[in-house]
């Protein structure tokens, strides 16, 4: 645990750890407000990946030579560090290419063999497509149906509605920890407890939680927790799925190939134990080694300090935007992570984002892979400014100046 407080951390020095943030875009200093899309990487992560390829590159688990051992140790070491960071056992943590793969793994390996016609998969209105589409594919093949738990206009889960929707037909609940559009932090611990009491298996999408706050999966008490590494300062193509041991043990392989077997005969094969049963083929070794370095970096800062820093930046952004006539924030939950979707009167989200880019400001515009939520708000798209601890108050001010300029241009 880091002994410093968020006030004593030199956030300017921290920002200096991220080489890319020093660059210019269209001749202007870059203001990167798209960390919910993907996070920037500190030099320690970049160096770790570089060092892996320069000095240790070999395949994992297949070679007895020194390099093979070093690569395996580095890869498994990353799993151990990640597991410690999330308070779970490394043996219950499957390393995946990210959340999308992790949720599909649960869909095909846990749900597909179990769900029957009449069963219900309960999802919330605020899910990312990665926590909707795999369930639709499974529902089509099993005869199960999808039920939706709604949100309020503020972007808060309607908890009474959610509880009422947890009927005896519901076998699985897919729930995001933090919304990538609204920033809403859902009370996943209470919801998972309620679901467990009713025998409903919970799949929590932690993609937008792990970059912003301490996450204790054991305390949440879910059945599965999926996350992605590239939003938490790690390389792309990394992430994981934690699952309760009894589920993992009972799940058949999802993909077949090398690494995931014990013995292969033409008459039939036997399979490795989890987590390796679900890691067929050569994994993203360097990426996950880099993710281990990202975890070290985040742990050295302290996730609680990161959360406090981002809360401070978010309140500055929210106050600045609220003071601006004609700007509407979508998602005003009391418990929010540093994600701010917004609409501007008379301006299309894509036009705004394109013109902001010319001012050096990177924000995302679009449906954010959340069509059902866009439908709820009756808009095709929003702009989204998402913050990380490496952003500054000055950048938020620069964003507001650019937004005013762009609005004048758009008339």
Q: Please state, as a whole number, how many other Cβ atoms lie within 10 Å of the Cβ of residue 252.
A: 13
- Our separate counts of H helices and E strands in the chain read 14, 17
In contact, 242 and 85? CB cutoff 8 Å: no
Asked if residue 365 binds ligand PLP (CB under 6 A), the reply is no
Question: Between residues 42 and 98, which has the closer beta carbon with respect to ligand PLP?
Answer: 98
Of 287, 227, 275, 285, nearest to 109 by C-alpha is 275
* Window contacting ligand PLP (CB under 6 A); options: 200-208, 281-289, 342-350, 371-379: 200-208
CA 185 to centroid of chain Cα atoms = 13
Question: Between residues 72 and 100, which has the closer beta carbon with respect to ligand PLP?
Answer: 100
Asked if residue 99 binds ligand PLP (CB under 6 A), the reply is yes
Least CB distance from residue 14 to ligand PLP, whole Å?
A: 23
Of 285, 244, 211, 222, nearest to 42 by C-alpha is 211
CA 145 to centroid of chain Cα atoms = 26
Asked if residue 210 binds ligand PLP (CB under 6 A), the reply is no
In angstroms, the CA 97 to CA 272 distance is 20
In angstroms, the CA 132 to CA 150 distance is 14
Asked if residue 202 binds ligand PLP (CB under 6 A), the reply is no
Asked if residue 184 binds ligand PLP (CB under 6 A), the reply is no
Rounding to the nearest 10 degrees, give the CA dihedral for residues 35, 57, 256, 176. -20
| Eight-class DSSP state of 55 | I
Of 313, 315, 347, 318, nearest to 330 by C-alpha is 318
Asked if residue 130 binds ligand PLP (CB under 6 A), the reply is yes
* Window contacting ligand PLP (CB under 6 A); options: 201-209, 284-292, 322-330, 375-383: 201-209
Judged by CB under 6 A, which of 6, 39, 42, 98 binds ligand PLP? 98
In angstroms, the CA 336 to CA 185 distance is 5
Please list the active-site residues.
369
**Rounded to 5 degrees, what are φ and ψ at 257?**
160, -155
Q: Please state, as a whole number, how many other Cβ atoms lie within 10 Å of the Cβ of residue 345.
A: 9
Question: Between residues 6 and 211, which has the closer beta carbon with respect to ligand PLP?
Answer: 211
Phi-psi region of 346 (alpha: psi -120 to 50; beta: other; left: phi over 0): left
Asked if residue 384 binds ligand PLP (CB under 6 A), the reply is no
* Window contacting ligand PLP (CB under 6 A); options: 205-213, 257-265, 273-281, 387-395: 205-213
Least CB distance from residue 180 to ligand PLP, whole Å?
A: 3
Count the residues of the shown chain that bind ligand PLP, applying the rule CB under 6 A.
11
Question: Between residues 99 and 142, which has the closer beta carbon with respect to ligand PLP?
Answer: 99
Asked if residue 364 binds ligand PLP (CB under 6 A), the reply is no
Least CB distance from residue 224 to ligand PLP, whole Å?
A: 13
Asked if residue 340 binds ligand PLP (CB under 6 A), the reply is no
In angstroms, the CA 383 to CA 365 distance is 4
Binding-site string for ligand PLP from residue 56 to residue 95, where x marks contact by CB under 6 A and - marks none: ----------------------------------------
Question: Between residues 208 and 332, which has the closer beta carbon with respect to ligand PLP?
Answer: 208
| Eight-class DSSP state of 384 | E
Q: Please state, as a whole number, how many other Cβ atoms lie within 10 Å of the Cβ of residue 282.
A: 13
Asked if residue 176 binds ligand PLP (CB under 6 A), the reply is yes
Judged by CB under 6 A, which of 72, 100, 104, 365 binds ligand PLP? 100
Asked if residue 228 binds ligand PLP (CB under 6 A), the reply is yes
**Residue ranges that bind ligand PLP, judged by CB under 6 A:** 98-100, 128, 130, 176, 180, 205, 207-208, 228
């Amino acid at each position: 645990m880091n002994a410093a407080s968020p006030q004593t951390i030199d956030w300017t020095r921290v920002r200096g750890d991220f080489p890319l943030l020093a660059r210019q875009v269209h001749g202007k200093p870059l203001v990167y407000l798209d960390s919910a899309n993907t996070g920037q990487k500190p030099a320690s992560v970049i160096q770790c990946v570089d060092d892996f390829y320069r000095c240790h590159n070999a395949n994992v688990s297949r070679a007895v030579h020194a390099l093979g051992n070093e690569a395996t140790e580095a890869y498994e070491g990353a799993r151990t560090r990640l597991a410690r960071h999330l308070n779970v056992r490394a043996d219950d943590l499957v390393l995946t290419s990210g959340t999308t793969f992790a949720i599909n793994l649960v869909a095909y390996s846990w749900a597909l063999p179990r769900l029957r016609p009449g069963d219900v998969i309960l999802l919330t209105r605020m899910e990312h497509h990665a926590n909707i589409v795999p369930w639709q594919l499974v529902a089509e093949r099993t005869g199960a149906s999808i039920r939706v738990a709604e949100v309020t206009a503020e972007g808060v889960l309607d908890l009474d509605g959610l509880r009422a929707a947890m009927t005896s037909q519901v076998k699985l609940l897919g729930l995001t920890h933090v919304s990538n559009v609204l920033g809403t932090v859902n009370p996943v611990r209470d919801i998972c407890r309620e679901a467990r009491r009713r025998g409903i298996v919970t799949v929590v999408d932690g993609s937008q939680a792990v970059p912003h706050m301490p996450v204790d999966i054991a305390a949440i008490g879910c059945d599965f927790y999926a996350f992605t590494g590239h939003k938490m300062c790690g390389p792309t193509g990394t992430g994981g799925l934690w699952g309760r041991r009894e589920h993992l043990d009972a799940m058949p392989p999802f993909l077949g190939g090398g690494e995931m077997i014990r013995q292969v005969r033409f008459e039939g094969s036997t399979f490795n134990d989890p987590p390796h049963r679900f890691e067929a083929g050569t994994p993203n070794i360097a990426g996950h080694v880099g993710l281990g370095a990202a975890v070290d970096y985040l742990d050295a800062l302290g996730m609680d300090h990161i959360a406090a820093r981002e809360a401070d930046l978010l309140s500055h952004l929210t106050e600045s935007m609220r003071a601006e006539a004609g700007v509407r924030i979508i998602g005003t939950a009391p418990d929010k992570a540093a994600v701010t979707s917004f609409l501007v009167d008379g301006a299309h989200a894509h036009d705004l984002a394109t013109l902001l880019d010319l001012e050096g400001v990177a924000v995302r515009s679009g449906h954010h892979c959340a069509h059902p939520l866009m439908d709820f708000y009756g808009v095709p798209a929003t702009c989204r400014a998402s913050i990380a601890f490496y952003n500054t108050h000055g950048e938020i001010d620069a964003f507001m100046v650019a937004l005013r300029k762009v609005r004048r241009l758009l008339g």
